[in-house]
Amino acid sequence: MGKRRNLGAYLDVMARQNALAVQEVYKMGGRKAMTLKTAMEEVGYNDELRAEGMAEEAVKIARNCIEQGIPLKTVATVTKLSPRKVRELAAETRR
């Protein structure tokens, strides 16, 4: 499911940056205009996948910050990960 989440995160960014273009494509295809959320759900992307993709990205950012020596409390604040999760990631990174 990792590839699907990555695709979902990518689609989310692209669609948000090009929301009008996405709606125009649907219009050209003979469909009535729909909201961006409806369009994304129709292709199998939903809030749950988006949240999972964002959580994975937060973990990647946290690992990078930890490797750069940023204090764990700051990493938790910036990434919105729990302090416990950040400590776990720090322990994994140091192995």
Whole-structure pTM over 0.75, yes or no? no
Whether 34 contacts 26, CB under 8 Å: yes
Whether 28 contacts 17, CB under 8 Å: no
Whether 15 contacts 40, CB under 8 Å: yes
CB-facing half-sphere around the CA of 51: CA atoms within 13 A: 4
Tell me the per-residue pLDDT of 16-44, one tens digit each, with 9 for 90 and over: 677 677 667 666 666 555 666 676 677 67
Which residue in the block uniquely carries the two structure tokens 């995160």?
9
Distance CA 87, CA 19 (A): 38
Tell me the per-residue pLDDT of 41-92, one tens digit each, with 9 for 90 and over: 776 767 777 777 788 888 999 999 999 999 999 999 999 999 999 999 999 9
